[in-house]
Amino acid sequence: MATKTKNSVKFLSILVYFLVLFALWYVLSGYLKPLLLFFGLVSVLFVSWMSLRAKALDNDALPLKLLLRLPFYWLWLVKEIFKSGITTTKIIWNNKPSPELIKIKASQKNSTGIANYANAITLTPGTVTIEVEKNDLLIHALSKELSEDLQTGEMDRFITGLDK
């Protein structure tokens, strides 16, 4: 019975992956002509087939529960980017950078969560993820204030909460 449930979840994940890809194709192309819709469908089928064949769609490649939490994550990330942008601007205007390299442990349980965490760090101005080694992230921060902000663990907890 567990295998049947696992297969149905995998099928549902593949279906959602296909639908998200097709929606993305449509939004980016904006065409409603039958021939172009057909080509879009064929291209999305091809990409889906190649992803399956390459075993790129593991269990955490497109978690369905994440789709519901993404809008909240994006809003939170925009807020963090804005806050960090203001801090970085102050550091640059005052000409007082104090760069630091820090190691941070990621508490995410899968590769998608760790990649989301590393990308969120890099997206916020003043910090860059230099290296990811298992659950350890090497981060370059423009100042002590930015590195201390990361070390509070707020971003780590928020992104870990996406996967629950």
User: pLDDT at position 48, please?
Assistant: 87
Counting Cβ atoms within 10 Å, is residue 126 exposed (0-12), middle (13-18) or buried (19+)?
buried
Asked if residue 124 lies in contact with residue 78, where contact means CB atoms within 8 angstroms, the answer is no
Q: From CA 56, how far away is CA 112, in angstroms rounded? A: 12
Burial readout 64-78 (b: 16 or more C-beta within 10 A, e: otherwise): eeeeeeeeebeebbe
Q: What's the Cα-to-Cα distance from 25 to each of 18, 19, 39, 41, 44, rounded to whole Å?
A: 10, 10, 10, 9, 8
Strand order through the sheet with 100-105: 100-105, 136-141, 127-133
pLDDT attached to residue 16: 80
Q: Which segments in the chain show pLDDT lower than 70?
A: 1-6, 9, 57-66, 164
Instruction: Determine the pLDDT at residue 12.
Output: 77
Residue 74, both tokens: 């994006």
pTM of the model: 0.70
pLDDT of residue 55: 75
pLDDT tens across 48-63, in order?
888 888 877 665 555 5
